[in-house]
Amino acid sequence: MSDQPPVPILYTQTGCADSPKVRDWLVERGIPFVERNVTGDLDAAMALYRTGTFATPLLVVGETRVLGFRPAEIEAAAAPRAVASRTMASGGA
């Protein structure tokens, strides 16, 4: 079992006003994530469907899901990943 927090997955779609807000928020804070644009990508759309929430933007971090641009909730969900990334970058354990 890994001590690393799960990599956040951001489900987006073309034309969604809040998708770039969440993406930019994560990028500005140096939080690594995987983006899956469901527009025209059946595999990404099916993965989003399996979350039980078929709307975007949806940030999934382990069992935590944040729908929409909600900075406080995004920070709470993604903060452990940001701390781990900074610790690894600085050479810490």
Which of left, alpha, beta for 69 (phi over 0: left; psi -120 to 50: alpha)?
Answer: beta
Q: Give pLDDT, residue 86.
A: 45
- Tens digits of per-residue pLDDT, 36-81? 999 999 999 999 999 999 999 999 999 999 999 999 999 999 876 5
How many alpha carbons lie under 13 Å from residue 8 in its C-beta half-sphere? 30
Domains of the chain in sequence order: 9-89 (3.40.30.10)
Give tens-digit pLDDT for 1-27: 556 778 999 999 999 999 999 999 999
Helix (H, G, I), strand (E, B) or coil at 64: strand
Above 70 in pLDDT, residue 82? no
Categorize the per-residue pLDDT at 93 as very low, low, confident or very high, splitting at 50, 70 and 90. Answer: very low
